[in-house]
Amino acid sequence: GGGGDSGKGKSPSPAKAGGAESPDDRARHWWRSLVFLKVCFLIFSMGSAREAQKFLLPVVGAEQHVEPATVSYVAFMSQILSMVAAPFGGFLMECTGVLPIILASLLTSAIGIQMLCLTGFRYYVYGASVLGVGCGLSAGAAIALSIIHAPADKKAGFINGCRLCNSSADILVPLLFGGLSSSLGVAAVGSSLTLATLSSVCVALLVFSEFIQSPSMKVPSMDFVVPLKAVGAFTRTVLEGIHHHYGPRRIHVICMKGTREEMSRVMVDWNLPRGL
pTM of the model: 0.62
Tell me the mean pLDDT per 10 residues along the chain, length 276. 48 48 53 74 79 83 88 90 80 74 86 87 91 83 72 77 80 77 77 85 74 46 58 72 65 69 78 62
> How confident is the model at residue 16, as a pLDDT?
46
* CATH node for 29-215: 1.20.1250.20
Instruction: Measure the CA dihedral 227/163/79/115, to 10°.
Output: -160
> How confident is the model at residue 127, as a pLDDT?
92
Judge whether 142 and 42 are in contact, CB under 8 Å: yes
Helices (H), the chain: 2-10, 14-17, 23-28, 34-63, 68-96, 98-116, 121-137, 141-149, 155-184, 186-207, 209-213, 233-245, 260-269
> How confident is the model at residue 79, as a pLDDT?
87
**Hey, is 251 helix, strand or coil?**
strand
d(CA 222, CA 75): 33
- What residue ranges do the domains of the chain occupy? 29-215, 224-269
d(CA 98, CA 212): 8
> How confident is the model at residue 206, as a pLDDT?
77
